[in-house]
Chains A and B, each alone.
Chain A
Amino acid sequence: DTTVKQNPRYKLARVGKPVNLICSQTMNHDTMYWYQKKPNQAPKLLLFYYDKILNREADTFEKFQSSRPNNSFCSLYIGSAGLEYSAMYLCASSREGALKRQYFGPGTRLTVL
């Protein structure tokens, strides 16, 4: 099974409320990534977990948190959603090695009102 699953597929949130998005994969991949994609923009890497080590991009460091309780699951957490967080959130995973293809999930469309 080479699929990456994301839940929920659609999420509506109120400004100021927390948001938690879930990603899972059963390919035993060491690295899991979260990207943000807004219309007419390129997907932007937010953070990734290599095994148990979290790496957050410098320009989004304070806006997003993540946890990886085990190899298969990874969450993306927004403590207080703002209108600017409305976007598609894509999760991906990859295995270390010569062929590091990233496998993407279907995404979660977050709308903040």
Chain B
Amino acid sequence: GQQVQQSPASLVLQEGENAELQCNFSTSLNSMQWFYQRPGGSLVSLFYNPSGTKHSGRLTSTTVIKERRSSLHISSSQTTDSGTYLCALEQDTEGADRLTFGKGTQLIIQP
């Protein structure tokens, strides 16, 4: 089965609203990484979060290992936050670090 499940698949919000993106995983991990991709752009790493809560401006990432979940919270969303958000589970398997991605959340912030 799929090791990393993201929800929702898509989310449409009005500017100023908060966004909550979820990632659930079914296996052990070294860390959870969150990425952002603007249409046509590169994957940009937002957070490298093995556990606990990390903040970066309006973004907050929380990883709770025993509950096998990680979340990305965007407060006071702006139209420029629109894009695809991907979570990826980092595992140490067969002596190497691998990222297993979720399918992503398409976020649309309307003015």
Residues of A within 8 A of B (CB): 4, 31, 33, 35, 40-45, 48, 50, 55, 90, 92, 94, 99-107
Contacts and interface: CB of A to CB of B under 8 A. Distances in A.
Contacts of B104: 42
Interface-central residue, B33, B45, B86, by most chain A CB under 10 Å: B45
Interface of B: 4, 31, 33, 35, 41-45, 48, 86, 88, 90, 96-104
Nearest to A106: B42
A104 B33 contact: no
Given A42-B86, A43-B86, A43-B101, 7 more contacts: A42-B104, A45-B99, A48-B98, A90-B43, A99-B48, A101-B48, A102-B99
A42 B101 contact: yes
Given A40-B103, A42-B103, A50-B96, A102 B86 contact: no
Given A99-B48, A100-B48, A104-B43, A45 B103 contact: no
Give the secondary structure class of B's interface.
strand
Contacts of A40: 103
A50 B4 CA distance: 24
B97 A42 contact: no
Nearest to B41: A106
Nearest to B92: A100
A102 B45 contact: yes
Contacts of B35: 104
A101 B103 contact: no
